[in-house]
Amino acid sequence: MDFKIELVPISVSDVDRAKDFYAQLGWVAEQDGSPREDLRFVQVTPPGSACSFCFGKGLGMLPEGQAQYIQVVVADADEAHAHLVECGIECTPVEQLAWGRFVNFSDPDGNRWVLQELPVRG
């Protein structure tokens, strides 16, 4: 049986600001709907990802102000770093560790993202 991650919620204080931030990264807004005045659901997907991330208003998925720590695998940490810098996103330099190469950044609400280039396995 396969288990495929589809959707991960993140908490944001300003939905439009968060949507703009992720658009700045080149992430596609797959959904942005408000079926009621007290509910808004936004779903963004990183290029090439089968998993999306959601945020909004009135969703009740995470306690308000709860920040996430999310690790994402990329093919090339240097390329990921260059992309973030080109997009105007503040990030760490590439860090080399025994278990991979890493670039870190945070969104405006403190959700922390780690981009990992996996080590060559042999």
For residue 116, the model assigns a pLDDT of 97
Residue 57 · residue 100 · CB < 8 Å: no
Identify which of 36, 48, 40 has the alpha carbon closest to the alpha carbon of residue 73.
48
Q: pTM of the entire structure? A: 0.92
**Can you say whether the dihedral through the CA atoms of 76, 85, 103, 42 is positive or negative?**
negative
- Domains parsed from the chain with CATH numbers: 7-117 (3.10.180.10)
Tens place of pLDDT per residue across the chain (122 aa): 999 999 999 999 999 999 999 999 999 999 999 999 999 999 999 999 999 999 999 998 988 889 999 999 999 999 999 999 999 999 999 999 999 999 999 999 999 999 999 998 77
